[in-house]
Copies of this chain bind each other. A is one copy, B any other.
């Protein structure tokens, strides 16, 4: 056991580190203030330029085949590059969904013309993609979507609403799942498309979240016309497309986990006084720190085990699926108990008063979303139970019923 790179990995890391040192500082960003349109526009310009630079340097799509603008590298190289890139505050966010989920779907399901048209511009940062999947009535039950598509001649007319679409407001293209035949059982009547986000009838509205952010959108479709040539897969066969896309999403999300930071709490406990004296001398606080610490460390070393598999050229095991179901509730507890240390003044969110610039108060408001996004706690436990432990699926009552005969509520 060790935590070292193999010689090949070390060489790649040195090369990437060198390239980053020369290139990244030009693109470093203070991060978007997403409530401020002008700053966001500037951020997007910087992000596109950074992506172009990565493409130029050969780091835009490390594991993709060279024919698609990739480098033909190994997954561990992608990880190493990401580790190194993380040292710089570079604007990579807007391309994660496109390169992580959408363009791979184009590569799998599009024809040669589509691949030729879209892959290059996405890799070079010329076009941003979004994923139009969730709906108000289709969250955990993704196949429950209701956005309608009807074929008229060579076009499809789309009506309905999507929700939780990241970056829809600055995206050039979107990948869209629709229901083309509601008389079929729910998994049978779906059809996939891609579309120009500037198409007439597409309306994007930001969703304000409870922690103040607004990086998600509602997207409304009013008689939006999509050429049949922009369909992926056969009509009614969209669930197959969805499954490949969801597989990509899961990989992307487990890579992008928020790490709960027990260090912040430790630091706070070192500064704050309780009735009985310094918080860090309180045994209950100390036990809490220890409990969180072993969970955070456990997750960290679980990731290291997965990286070990990647480094050996193996596929990581299912251990990764436990990440968010541990870290999200822990972040929530950290938020609450961090505020608790502030006692009567613990609810203040003034950054000059609240410790660590109100990090705990933010965690308290952010964690509920983390427990939902990318699979709720409950869905993730189902996934562990079914895919890792091989337990039976839930009893399904909706598999063989026509979609339009299923009961509906809100």
Other-chain residue from B276, B283, B397 in contact with A284 (beta carbon distance below 8 A): B283
Contacts of A287 in B (CB 8 A): 284
Which B-chain residue is minimally distant from A274 (CB atoms)? B283
**Nearest Cβ distance between residue A336 and chain B, in whole angstroms?**
15
Contacts of A276 in B (CB 8 A): 283
**Nearest Cβ distance between residue A272 and chain B, in whole angstroms?**
14
**Nearest Cβ distance between residue A299 and chain B, in whole angstroms?**
23
Q: How far is the CA of A132 from the CA of B274 in the complex (A)?
A: 58
**Nearest Cβ distance between residue A385 and chain B, in whole angstroms?**
15
One digit per residue, 1 when the CB lies within 8 angstroms of any chain B CB and 0 when it does not, for chain A 350-393 equals 00000000000000000000000000000000000000000000
Contacts of A286 in B (CB 8 A): 284
**Nearest Cβ distance between residue A284 and chain B, in whole angstroms?**
4
One digit per residue, 1 when the CB lies within 8 angstroms of any chain B CB and 0 when it does not, for chain A 382-410 equals 00000000000001010000000000000
Contacts of A395 in B (CB 8 A): 395, 397
Contacts of A285 in B (CB 8 A): 283
One digit per residue, 1 when the CB lies within 8 angstroms of any chain B CB and 0 when it does not, for chain A 282-293 equals 111111000000
**Nearest Cβ distance between residue A273 and chain B, in whole angstroms?**
14
Identify which of residues 272-314 in chain A touch chain B, using a CB-to-CB cut-off of 8 Å: 276, 282-287
Contacts of A282 in B (CB 8 A): 283
- For A, the interface residue count at a CB cutoff of 8 angstroms equals 9
Q: How far is the CA of A284 from the CA of B282 in the complex (A)?
A: 8
Which B-chain residue is minimally distant from A285 (CB atoms)? B283
**Nearest Cβ distance between residue A238 and chain B, in whole angstroms?**
27
**Nearest Cβ distance between residue A265 and chain B, in whole angstroms?**
15
One digit per residue, 1 when the CB lies within 8 angstroms of any chain B CB and 0 when it does not, for chain A 315-357 equals 0000000000000000000000000000000000000000000
Q: How far is the CA of A286 from the CA of B286 in the complex (A)?
A: 13
Contacts of A284 in B (CB 8 A): 283-284, 286-287
Q: How far is the CA of A60 from the CA of B395 in the complex (A)?
A: 49
Find the residue from A276, A283, A285, A395 having the highest chain B CB count within 10 A.
A283
Which B-chain residue is minimally distant from A397 (CB atoms)? B395
Which B-chain residue is minimally distant from A396 (CB atoms)? B395
Contacts of A397 in B (CB 8 A): 395
Which B-chain residue is minimally distant from A288 (CB atoms)? B284
Which B-chain residue is minimally distant from A277 (CB atoms)? B283
**Nearest Cβ distance between residue A308 and chain B, in whole angstroms?**
34
Q: How far is the CA of A395 from the CA of B392 in the complex (A)?
A: 14
Q: How far is the CA of A283 from the CA of B283 in the complex (A)?
A: 5
Which B-chain residue is minimally distant from A290 (CB atoms)? B284
Q: How far is the CA of A307 from the CA of B397 in the complex (A)?
A: 43
Which B-chain residue is minimally distant from A286 (CB atoms)? B284
Q: How far is the CA of A13 from the CA of B287 in the complex (A)?
A: 48
**Nearest Cβ distance between residue A340 and chain B, in whole angstroms?**
12
Q: How far is the CA of A395 from the CA of B399 in the complex (A)?
A: 14
Q: How far is the CA of A287 from the CA of B291 in the complex (A)?
A: 15
Contacts of A283 in B (CB 8 A): 276, 282-285
Q: How far is the CA of A283 from the CA of B285 in the complex (A)?
A: 8
- 8 further A-B contacts with Cβ under 8 Å, apart from A283-B283, A284-B286, are A276-B283, A282-B283, A283-B284, A283-B285, A284-B284, A284-B287, A395-B395, A395-B397
Q: Can you name 10 A-B pairs with beta carbons within 8 Å?
A: A276-B283, A282-B283, A283-B283, A283-B284, A283-B285, A284-B284, A284-B286, A284-B287, A395-B395, A395-B397
The 10 A-B pairs of least Cβ separation, nearest first, read A283-B283, A283-B284, A284-B284, A284-B287, A395-B395, A282-B283, A395-B397, A276-B283, A284-B286, A283-B285
